[in-house]
Structure 1
């Protein structure tokens, strides 16, 4: 019974530590951001690709084992398709997400951390100089007696 209580106490501490809440918020924000990226790819990237070919990247495919035929609804009736357009679309979405995360989050955070390190180093140097100065004052006072 004590082991169960200890486990539950540890689990409660884990939940209340904040890491789980931060992770949950990150997952929710990531899901919402994925929706934005998907809309961007569908609304901007796919039409740009449509200038050179089909409007939807998912329409790009190659017949692996044929003859490949598709019915009016777009369902494959015979053959095996490789849907490389879908893979290309997913890759573009990944690159867009990675770029936004890097330029909107990582770069500013690195810049902020560099400034913070500089401020912390200046404060540490000032503290060292203050200690040295106080030591010199103490020594001077001791020598005067």
Structure 2
């Protein structure tokens, strides 16, 4: 029974629950940004580049062909468009997380307390010191 109570204690700690919440929200946020990139950003870039979808950009090393036996041979291509699209996804997610953390840290930053007043005995000792110097 000790292991079950230890597990309950482990799960009920704030850090584990906060981490699990962050992972779930992060995954959902990633889907939102991917949808934004796929549905809005990339079509605009594709329109500006002549109507070709960015994810279809590729450099063909060997085109598709039919071999001597009549079997189709797939093309060999470097699909750099999908990589560019994924990089844009990453950059947008990183930017938004950076902005959220910056705002969070600004809100969380403690307000500086005014300096404490100098105690009376210290003021008195300073006066005595200054009068002795003269």
TM norm structure 1:
0.66
The correspondence of residues 65-76 of structure 1 with structure 2, limited to 5 A, is 66-68=62-64
Partner residue, 1:95: 91
Q: Can you give the 5+ residue segments of structure 1 that lack an aligned partner in the other structure?
A: 70-75, 140-145
- CA deviations 1:38-57 (Å, max 9, x no partner) are 11111211111112134422
Q: Would you identify which runs of 4 or more consecutive aligned residues in structure 1 move more than 4 Å?
A: none
The residue correspondences of 1:1-145 to structure 2 (distance < 5 A) are 5=2, 7-51=3-47, 52-64=49-61, 66-68=62-64, 77-103=73-99, 105-114=100-109, 116=110, 119=111, 121-122=112-113, 125-126=115-116, 129=117, 132-133=119-120, 136=121
Summarize the Cα distance change of 1:26–1:77 in structure 2 as closer, same or farther, 3 Å threshold.
farther
Partner Cα separation in structure 2 for residue 107 and residue 55 of structure 1: 37
- In structure 2, list runs of 5 or more residues that go unmatched: 66-71, 125-134
TM-score normalized by the length of structure 2: 0.70
Number of matched residues?
Answer: 116
Q: Which has the higher helix share?
A: 1
Aligned CA-pair RMSD: 2.7
